[in-house]
């Protein structure tokens, strides 16, 4: 089976709900998924595009984005064949308010860190964190510590783009330390919490040109017994399943032959691969 769970029905910053939360638009995503042999498709809009998110954090970026009603979104997605997810930022200190907002009927919740608080964002030049934390090792230390904190309250099912800090690639200074040193606290937290690790092909579309997470990170996760969820973080139908051959190859080469499937926040593992390939795994196990 292949999944694409971390999807957005519209581009960042723009896109009114009335234009993008439509059956026609969902059909475009479903058609793209079918073309790529993706059986399980779910949507996970950014929490900060909903007015309810302002209960969690009142950053100017969120205030500019928070237009839609979360319950209307949930109701609309439930009328479609899509799984219902949400990409929710982790804001330390707001755990109770996040938990409150997530008391809805989601199939899964993708936990993300885009901002290191008021300091700035890892993925947006308008609020560039690098202006405040210019040392690449210090930035990584801070970022991975925050990521590691994300799990303890048990709010999320999947940790998304787990090494987003690398997004700008060679546009920013490289760390001096072995990256594995920085990964350590996060991998430990993943092992303890059992949260699924997202393999996201979105990094292939960014300056870094590499899947999230890096191979070294994924190796450490495998050693720690972690499970994986597969997504493209598409913001348009043409990005659905983007770069999946590379993602499948990476997971294959690490000996990962199962991926996570979610249903009302219950997780199960299914054989990884397009239909024919997954069947091979099943056959080799005696057709279980």
Contacting positions for Zn ion (CB under 5 A): 87, 112, 233
The answer to whether the beta carbons of residues 6 and 230 sit under 8 Å apart is: no
Minimum CB distance to Zn ion smaller for 197 or for 278: 197
If the CB atoms of residues 124 and 137 are measured against Zn ion, the closer one turns out to be: 124
Give me the DSSP letters along 223-253.
Answer: HTT--EEEE--BSSGGGTTTTHHHHHHHHHH
The answer to whether 65 and 28 are in contact (CB under 8 A) is: no
CA-CA distances (angstroms) from residue 232 to 79, 137, 138?
23, 27, 29
Report whether 6 contacts 160 (CB < 8 A).
yes
Tell me if 199 sits within 8 A of 211, measured CB to CB.
Answer: yes
* Residue closer to Zn ion (CB basis): 124 or 270: 124
Q: Which is nearer to Zn ion, 68 or 87 (CB)?
A: 87
> Are 48 and 12 contacting, i.e. CB atoms less than 8 angstroms apart?
no
CB of 124 to Zn ion, least distance (A): 11
Q: In the complex, what is the shortest distance from the CB of residue 71 to Zn ion, in angstroms, rounded to a whole number?
A: 21
CB of 114 to Zn ion, least distance (A): 6
Closest to Zn ion by CB, 40 or 87:
87
156: nearest Cα among 209, 129, 194, 202:
194
> Minimum distance between the CB of residue 164 and Zn ion, rounded to whole angstroms?
7
> Shortest gap between Cβ of 130 and Zn ion (angstroms)?
18
């Amino acid at each position: 089976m292949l999944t694409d769970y971390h999807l957005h029905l519209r581009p960042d910053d723009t896109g009114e709900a009335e234009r993008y939360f439509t059956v026609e638009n969902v059909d475009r995503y479903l058609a793209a998924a079918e073309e790529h042999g993706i059986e399980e498709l779910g949507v996970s809009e950014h929490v900060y595009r909903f007015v309810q998110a302002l209960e969690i954090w009142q950053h100017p970026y969120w205030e500019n984005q928070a237009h839609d009603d979360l319950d209307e979104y949930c109701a609309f997605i439930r009328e479609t064949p899509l799984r219902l997810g949400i990409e929710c930022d982790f804001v330390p200190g707001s755990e109770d308010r996040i938990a409150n907002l997530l008391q809805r009927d989601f199939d899964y919740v993708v936990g993300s860190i885009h901002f290191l608080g008021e300091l700035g964002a890892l993925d947006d030049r308008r609020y560039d964190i690098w202006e405040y934390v210019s040392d690449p090792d210090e930035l990584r230390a801070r970022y991975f510590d925050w990521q590691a904190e994300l799990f303890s309250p048990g709010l999320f099912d999947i940790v998304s783009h787990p090494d987003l800090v690398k997004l700008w690639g060679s546009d920013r200074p490289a760390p001096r330390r072995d990256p594995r040193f920085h990964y350590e606290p996060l991998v430990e937290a993943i092992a303890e919490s059992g949260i699924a690790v997202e393999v996201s092909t979105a990094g292939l579309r960014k300056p870094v040109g590499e899947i999230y997470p890096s191979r070294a990170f994924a190796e450490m996760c495998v050693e720690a017994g972690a499970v994986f969820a597969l997504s493209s973080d598409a913001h348009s139908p043409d990005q659905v399943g983007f770069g999946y051959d590379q993602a499948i190859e990476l997971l294959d080469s690490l000996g990962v032959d199962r991926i996570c499937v979610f249903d009302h926040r219950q997780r199960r593992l299914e054989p990884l691969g397009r239909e024919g390939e997954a069947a091979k795994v099943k056959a080799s196990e005696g057709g279980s």
